Amino acid sequence: ESRLDQEAIRILKANDRGGFTIPTARLYPYQWNWDSAFAALGFAEFDRDRAWREIETLFEAQWPDGMLPHIVFRQNDPDYFPGPAIWQSNTEPPSSGHSQPPVTASVVLRMVQGGDASDLERARPLFAKMLAFHRWYHEMRDPDGTGLVGIVHPWESGRDNCPDWDIGMDRIAVPDDLGPYQRRDTEHIDPAERPSTAQYDRYLTIIKFGRECGWDHVEMARNGPFFMGDPGVQFILMRADRDLLRLAELLGETAAQEQIGRWLERASAGCQLLWNPEVNAFCARDLRTGEFSDGITSASMLAFYAGAGTDEQRAAMAVHAARILDQVAFGFPSFDPAHPRFEAKRYWRGPVWAIINFLIVDGLNEAGETQLAERIRDDTRRLVETAGFFEYFDPQSGEGIGGSDFTWTAAVHLVWGS
Ligand code: DGY
């Protein structure tokens, strides 16, 4: 074990709160959905039982309708805002009211494929829960059956303040009675590396709408303040459907296979709605107005991971990837550096995230784009070696920013090996 491996293991153990892992102390003191899934992959490298526990505790918070919420509040922690009193989920354990990118089935398949018969048995009771989660996405986030799922809050994308959401956020009217509130994130982290106040006003406006309609998901999708198509969630769901189908085969769950196959077929067609012909790339799109975002993001690059689009479209995406990588010292930036809205240090408006790199590299390798994949993997390795296990990194300077001792950055390092 190298020094960095030991450090990564230390971080996972330090962020373990007994069966679930927090992303980092103080800034994010609860269990987050996709952070937790990636934590499981990290644990699987040295403690398989603990890895499975992470997924099992996450699913303890699944809603009766199948939704897997984005934050699970097992205790009240004043270090974080907005906490359970703002969300009012009316569930046990309390949670937030929307979801996050559905990586769980892909993580579970990876743990099964890297394990033995006992891992397959551990996955068995999770299968119906994952199937219900995918059904929830396909039905509640795509009530018209277009094959493209929407997100009701930028936080549902996991890429909170990405310029992808600017067009949808600009259309949100902040009500007079939103009330005063106190952010906590900017007490832990330099405000220049976090979303703006105007964005937080809108994040809370969406939560107010959700709370007031009792988190009625169809109402959120049809009439909520925000509903956008996200290449990230769409592509991650497509890949997760494919991985869930493989799990169904391994587990002999024949009845589910046809259903998952239909979801996949519909989503493969639906993702074409995200192809922006002006930019010649997959982009976010406001599903209320049809308007496209005009920027290429790290999530656009997950087309490979999903096997989405035509050969021609993926070839165009590979050209964009090479161009973007040539503009930064470290890839892959969360937003196109050539775009005027790029900001090297502001959270999802430019910085590099190890976990997105992990997914991009997986997809690029599968698509045979091995040179691009190697470059991104090598950049990630250099970032961690020089800066440490930070939440995100400046793509120009390589500086580590946001939270430190970060769970999913440590997990990616362990999965990839030194
Ligand atoms: C935050 O609080 O910034 C989280 O990313 C929301 O999920």
Binding site membership of 160 for ligand 1 (Cβ less than 6 Å)? yes
Binding site membership of 392 for ligand 1 (Cβ less than 6 Å)? no
- φ, ψ of residue 24 to 5 degrees: the values are -165, 150
Mean pLDDT value of segment 378-403: 98
Q: Which atom of ligand 1 is nearest to the CA of 155?
A: 7
| CA nearest ligand 1 atom 4, residue | 155
How confident is residue 1, by pLDDT bands cut at 50, 70 and 90?
confident
Mean pLDDT value of segment 263-289: 98
Q: Quote the pLDDT of residue 172.
A: 98
Q: CB-based burial of residue 184 (10 Å sphere; 0-12 exposed, 13-18 middle, 19+ buried)?
A: middle
ipTM of the assembly?
0.96
155-202: per-residue pLDDT in tens? 999 999 999 999 999 999 999 999 899 999 999 999 999 999 999 999
238-264: per-residue pLDDT in tens? 999 999 999 999 999 999 999 999 999
Is residue 350 scored above 80 in pLDDT?
yes
Which of 59, 43, 68 is closest to 123 using CA atoms? 59
Is residue 418 scored above 70 in pLDDT?
no
**d(C-alpha 235, C-alpha 212), whole Å:** 31
Q: Quote the pLDDT of residue 179.
A: 87
> How many percent of the chain have pLDDT more than 70?
100
Q: CB-based burial of residue 173 (10 Å sphere; 0-12 exposed, 13-18 middle, 19+ buried)?
A: exposed
For residue 39, the CA-to-ligand 1 centroid distance in Å is: 17
Task: Kindly write down the DSSP assignment for every residue of 145-166, as one continuous string.
Answer: --S--EESSHHHHT-TT-GGGH
> How many percent of the chain have pLDDT more than 90?
99
DSSP bridge partners of 347? none
For residue 255, the CA-to-ligand 1 centroid distance in Å is: 37
Binding site membership of 155 for ligand 1 (Cβ less than 6 Å)? yes
Q: Report the chain's mean pLDDT, rounded to a whole number.
A: 98
CB-based contacts of 170: which residues, under 8 Å, 6+ apart?
none
Give residue for tokens 């959401």.
165
Identified catalytic residue from 7, 56, 60, 160: 160
Which of 414, 386, 381 is closest to 400 using CA atoms? 386
Where b means 16+ CB within 10 Å and e means fewer, 19-55 reads ebbbbbeebbbbbbbbbbbbbbbbbbbeebebbbbbb
98-151: per-residue pLDDT in tens? 999 999 999 999 999 999 999 999 999 999 999 999 999 999 999 999 999 999
369 part of the active site: no
**d(C-alpha 390, C-alpha 42), whole Å:** 15
14-52: per-residue pLDDT in tens? 999 999 999 999 999 999 999 999 999 999 999 999 999
Rg (C-alpha) for the chain, rounded Å, is 20
Domains and CATH numbers, the chain: 3-416 (1.50.10.10)
Identified catalytic residue from 230, 343, 391, 394: 391
For residue 155, the CA-to-ligand 1 centroid distance in Å is: 6
Is residue 13 scored above 70 in pLDDT?
yes
